[in-house]
Amino acid sequence: MHYYKPASFAEAVALAAGAEGITRILAGGTDVLVQMRADIVTPDTLIDIKAIPGTHEIARTAEGGWRIGVAVTGAEMSEHPELGRDWPGVVEAMDLIGSTQVQGRATPIGNLCNASPAADSVPAMIAAGAVLNVIGPDGSRDIPAEEVPAGPGKTTLKKGEIATALTLPPRGQNGGDAYQRFIPRTEMDIAVVGCALNLTVEGDQITSARMALGAVAPTALLIPAVTEVLVGKTLDDDALAALAALAEANCNPIDDKRGTVKFRTHVAGVLARRVAQIAYDRAKGAKA
């Protein structure tokens, strides 16, 4: 096994592009190191990107959104004075992961690139409309968050490509987002179902909406049809019922030790209603 700690993305890309066998990018290590210890993955090449300048920064973009560096941790997101005002759902989703100690290491981009269908921060990123900024041998490109995971443990990143940052769009006026997951315990657990919703309002009327579900399919799912169910409406009982039905209809889960198809499908509907209400209240001015 070879371990590298490059000082620039150019160097990191060259290492990744030239590496043989299995390559893993090391940021917080809360997935990579655990998988190595458990003999799930034994990389031939380990590229630690934490020393690259700028990777720990959370910065406003020129458009008014946010750029979150590839090595930014959950704790850094939670402690940021402004990020959580714009995107409380994204910050809360990240904060649900693991313990306080894990929060000091775990990164949202690692959560996305680990490509677990149950990753907590990913539905929130998708609902928010986040894009992953990557750099590779052929230059830079942006990938919408929902297009990063290709299946459990697989991403659409090409050989030699390395994530540099996650960009969240400008929040704009009268918007709100929320994420909830269902777990059998109260914390330190893995989502049986996760649901994120991001919407904007004008008065009581919903003007845009994005919803994503986690742990109900091989990858976190963007549910585009949510616009048909919510946009142009107020969040009344009929809208909530239709939203729950939409969430249930889009589930394609498995029966496993963590939950049955029936239970996951039912709870997806429950969570869709709950997060819609929170996001709606936030859009209308409720404080996170």
Partner 1 sequence: MALDSSKTTGFKYVGTRPNRPDGLDKVTGRAKFGADATAPGMLFAAIKRSPHAHAKIVKIDASKALAMEGVKAVVTRADFAEGLTGEDWNILENVMAGDTALYDGHAVAAVAATSALIAKDAIKAIEVEYQILPHVTDVDKAIEPDAPVIRAGAADASVPEGLHPNVVRYYESGHGDVEAGFAEADLVIEEHFTTEATHQGYIEPHACLGTLGGDGKGELWCCTQGHWNVQKVCAALLGLETSQLRVTASEIGGGFGGKTTVFIEPVALALSRKANRPVKLVMTRSEVFRASGPTSSTSMNVKIGMKKDGTITAAQGIFRLQGGAFPGAPCDMTAMCAFAPYNLKNVHQVGYDVITNRPKQAAYRAPGSPMAAFAVESVMDELCNQLGLDPIEVRLKNASHEGTTANFGITWPRIGLVETLEAAKAHPHYAAPLKPGQGRGISCGFWFNHGGETSVSLAMSEDGSAQIMVGTPDIGGSRASMALMAAEVLGIPYENIRCTIADTSSLGYNEISHGSRVTYASGLATIKAAEAAVEELCRRAAAKWDIPAEAVYWEDGYAKPSGPNAGDHEPLHITELTADMGATGGPINGHFEATPEGAGVSFATHIVDAEVDPETGATKVVRYTVVQDAGKAIHPTYVEGQFQGGAAQGIGWALNEEYIYGEDGRLQNAGFLDYRIPVASDLPFIDTVIVEVPNPGHPFGVRGVGETSICPPLAAIANAVSNAVGVRMRQLPMRPARVLEALESKNG
Instruction: Give least dist CB 34 to partner 1, A.
Output: 10
Q: With CB under 8 A, what is the number of residues at the site for partner 1?
A: 19
The residue assigned the tokens 């809208």 is: 239
Cα–Cα distance for residue pair 164/278, rounded to 1 Å: 31
Out of 66, 179, 182, 280, point to the residue binding partner 1 (CB under 8 A): 182
Q: Give which of 218, 201, 221 is closest to 272, Cα–Cα.
A: 221
State the nearest-atom distance from the C-beta of 221 to partner 1, in Å.
20
**C-beta of 219: minimal distance to partner 1 in Å?**
20
Question: What CA–CA distance (Å, rounded) separates 102 from 111?
Answer: 12
How, if at all, do strands 66-69 and 58-60 pair? antiparallel
SS3 per-residue string spanning 216-274: CCCCCEECCCHHHHHCCCCCCHHHHHHHHHHHHHCCCCCCECCECHHHHHHHHHHHHHH
**Residue ranges in 240-259 that form contacts with partner 1 under rule CB under 8 A:** 257-259
Neighbour-count burial for 48-59, b at 16+ CB within 10 Å, e otherwise = bbeebeebbebe
The CB-of-207 to partner 1 minimum distance in angstroms stands at 28
Residues 257-286 interacting with partner 1 (rule: CB under 8 A) = 257-260, 262-263, 266-267, 270
When the beta carbons of 257 and 287 are compared against partner 1, the nearer one is: 257
Q: Which of 185, 203, 237, 285 binds partner 1 (CB under 8 A)?
A: 185
**Cβ closer to partner 1: 266 or 282?**
266
Q: Which residues of this chain interact with partner 1, rule CB under 8 A?
A: 38-39, 182, 184-190, 257-260, 262-263, 266-267, 270
